[in-house]
Amino acid sequence: MGCRFATGFIKPLMVCVFLTGGGGWAAAPAVGTRGMHGCIAEAEGYLGARLEIWQQRLNLGDWKISVVMSHPGQLKPKTLGNIHWEADKKTAIIRVLDAADYQLACREAVADMEVTVVHELVHLELSSLPRPAASRHDEELAVNRIADALVRLDRQKAPSVAGVIWGGAGN
């Protein structure tokens, strides 16, 4: 099991600003303008589509993986998500912090949720390797760097699915 850690809600903001600055992301209004229910629905649809893409990229296409929005009480303290898997069944559940619990505009919250999904998929990819307790902190740091690099590369390379969800790059 892996977790994406944050120190309060400052880290998600820093990650989003760093990762979305080169933007393949279409502009999306803040949650208050769009409405929380609209943001949650868009987040679920977007993450479902991106999960499929990331599974293929990480050669996890034979896994049945679902993403579940979760409130802070359903996650370990100071985490943004986690993953639980059953290797013999090739099933996994990724929990991500619910859009309603972010202190960010919808676009930035969803961008950060995607980083969490990729982070947890990298943990899944590494799950067959030995995991001594002493190296878990080092693994977490490495997974953070890998996930951030993958998502940053993806966003520099081409416009994302967000353009379709939020009406194109001009919106």
Q: Kindly give the confidence (pLDDT) of every residue in the chain, 171 residues in length, as a single tens digit, with 9 standing for 90 and above.
A: 565 655 333 333 333 322 333 333 333 334 444 567 788 888 999 999 999 999 999 999 999 999 999 999 999 999 999 999 999 999 999 999 999 999 999 999 999 999 999 999 999 999 999 888 888 899 999 999 999 999 999 998 765 555 545 554 443
* Closest C-alpha among 103, 72, 66 to residue 85: 66
Q: Per residue in 19-34, pLDDT tens? A: 333 333 333 334 444 5
φ, ψ of residue 130 in degrees (nearest 5): -60, 140
Report pLDDT for 4.
63
Where in the chain are the domains?
3-164
Phi, psi of 66 (to 5 degrees): -125, 155
Cβ pair 35, 28 in contact under 8 A: no
Kindly give the pairing relationship between strand 79-86 and strand 91-97. antiparallel
State pTM to two decimals.
0.74
- Tell me the pairing of strands 64-70 and 79-86: unpaired
Per DSSP bridges, beta strands 91-97 and 64-70 are: parallel
Q: Is 163 exposed, middle or buried (0-12, 13-18, 19+ CB in 10 A)?
A: middle
